[in-house]
Amino acid sequence: MTSSGPVSASGAGAPRGVAGSRASRGSLDPAVIARLAHLDVRARLVVEGFIAGMHRSPFHGFSVEFAEHRPYMPGDPLKNLDWKVWARSDRYLVKQYTEETNLRCHLLLDLSGSMAFRSTRASMSKLDYARSLSAALAYLMLQQQDAVGAMLFADRPLAYVPPRSVRSHLDAVLRTFESARPQGTTRLGPVLHELAERIKRRGLVVLCSDLMDRPADVLQGLQHFRHRHHEVVVFHVLDPDEIEFPYTDTATFVDMESRERLTTEPWEIAKRYRERFRAWSDRYLRSCREQRIDYVRIDTRTPFDQALLAYLEKRAKLL
């Protein structure tokens, strides 16, 4: 079952500093991005459109202003050596810029069967939207010289790409996302616990999922990341029909994981559905706030800049 309507990103605030140019806004529209076949092109278009639409950036990573010197270490690019300092003092020092402040980030992508849903009013399925968002985040993070890794899962972990910060690493991350297909059932709680045990070094964890599981189990899994001192951002990706439940005629609803079928008169259950949906979503929002987890609810028609801004605001707080 599903629903619609533009949903603002909870906790992300208004899109600060985003210009309203038609070109940049078009490149952030899921309906435009959905027409592009290649994930690398999608990621580049979203990020470049996002950056072009900003009047100024209050976030680390977009600036290349000089910050300080540090001693040269084996493996540092020679182009970063300050040759003027060497000529004066015979000391090998590297110029550091503000964008060199790094994070380690793991992108967690839910591939469970329910993520395949797409209503007629949406241009992307939930998985396609989450995959495009994850690719754009990876592209943006590597632009900022952050280390990026990926974990894909359904009812169990399915693929893992260790985090690295070199630009060439983007190909490995995008290939993993590109090959992702919806499969299996939703068992978010146990999977999140297992993934939390796999990530040894503290960093930033970004989850893209429809969270179609018991909130108590999911929240315990997210709390495991916090217990291990990770910062967490949850993008709750939903189809617009799942939010609004716009159905009026007699309909048969099919569970995309169990294939169970239910034929009903939607007008008889619409009010109750919306009430339960609101309570379910609000529980995630409230509990995430209590655990100091950034929770962002978006639907598959939400322009990508809202999600990118939510990530950048989180990153700015950590640096």
Q: Which pLDDT does position 25 carry in this prediction? A: 58
Whole-structure pTM value:
0.78
Provide the mean pLDDT of the chain.
83
CATH number at residue 207: 3.40.50.410
Tally of domains within the chain: 2
Q: Which pLDDT does position 184 carry in this prediction? A: 83
**Rounded Cα gap, residues 175 and 179, in angstroms:** 6
What digits encode the pLDDT tens for the residues 143-197?
888 999 999 999 999 999 999 998 889 999 999 999 989 988 888 999 999 999 9
Q: Which H helix or E strand runs over 109?
A: strand 104-110
Instruction: Give yes or no: residues 82 and 106 share one domain.
Output: no
**Rounded Cα gap, residues 282 and 273, in angstroms:** 14
What is the domain extent for residue 291? Answer: 22-60+101-318
**Rounded Cα gap, residues 218 and 285, in angstroms:** 12
Instruction: Give yes or no: residues 240 and 191 share one domain.
Output: yes
Lowest mean pLDDT among 19-28, 171-180, 227-236, 243-252: 19-28
What digits encode the pLDDT tens for the residues 246-282?
999 999 998 888 889 999 999 999 999 999 999 999 9
What digits encode the pLDDT tens for the residues 104-157?
999 999 999 999 999 999 999 999 999 999 999 999 999 888 999 999 999 999
Structural domain contains residue 215: yes
**Rounded Cα gap, residues 294 and 204, in angstroms:** 11
Instruction: Give yes or no: residues 280 and 204 share one domain.
Output: yes
Instruction: Give yes or no: residues 223 and 282 share one domain.
Output: yes
Instruction: Give yes or no: residues 305 and 289 share one domain.
Output: yes
Instruction: Give yes or no: residues 105 and 93 share one domain.
Output: no
